[in-house]
């Protein structure tokens, strides 16, 4: 399988797909093979679950000393976002002045460049979150 195709088919990266347990109803991200809530009772009962990509900021921090791979982005915001469906994701918040972020602020997933790798400069894309604009 070609590398770009492999990454395109990663539902967690591009489509915010997780798992839902048909046994207890617990939703999780990323996908898992065993429900952390009901454990062995979930075997064979996990289904793919596509999330809306909407949620709210639960906590956040501003990164001022970024690793070399993200040095040009500093300062940037990392946050834990609770999706409307329940799971929490660690993500970067974009398109906002860091001083205006608040706990409980509504955000939505957006498709962005995550970085490049290798001598050929293969570009990796995925989700980040930004403020919901009316």
Tell me what the pLDDT averaged over the chain comes to. 85
Sign (positive or negative) of CA dihedral 73, 76, 80, 86: negative
Predicted TM-score (pTM) of this structure: 0.81
Burial of 59 (C-beta count, 10 Å sphere; 0-12/13-18/19+): exposed
Tokens found for residue 90: 């660690």
What number does CATH give the domain 52-131?
2.40.50.840
Tokens of 110: 């957006």
Q: Which residues of the chain have pLDDT under 50?
A: none
3-state secondary structure 19-39: EEECCCCCEECCCCCCECCCE
pLDDT tens readout for residues 57-77: 999 999 998 888 777 788 889
In percent, the amount of the chain with pLDDT more than 90 equals 50
Show me where the domains of the chain are located: 52-131
Looking at the chain, the whole-number percentage of residues with pLDDT higher than 70 is 88
């Amino acid at each position: 399988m070609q590398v770009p195709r492999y990454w395109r088919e990663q539902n967690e990266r591009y489509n915010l797909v997780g798992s839902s347990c048909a046994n207890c109803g617990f939703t999780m991200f990323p996908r898992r093979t065993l429900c952390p809530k009901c454990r062995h009772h979930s075997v064979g009962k996990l289904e793919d679950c596509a999330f809306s990509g909407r949620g709210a900021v639960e906590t956040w921090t501003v990164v001022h000393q970024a690793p070399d791979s993200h040095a040009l982005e500093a300062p940037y915001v990392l946050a834990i976002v609770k999706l409307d469906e329940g799971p929490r994701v660690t993500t970067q918040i974009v398109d906002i002045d860091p001083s205006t972020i608040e706990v409980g602020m509504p955000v939505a997933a957006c498709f962005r460049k995550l970085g490049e790798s290798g001598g050929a400069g293969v570009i990796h894309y995925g989700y980040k979150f930004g403020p919901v604009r009316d």
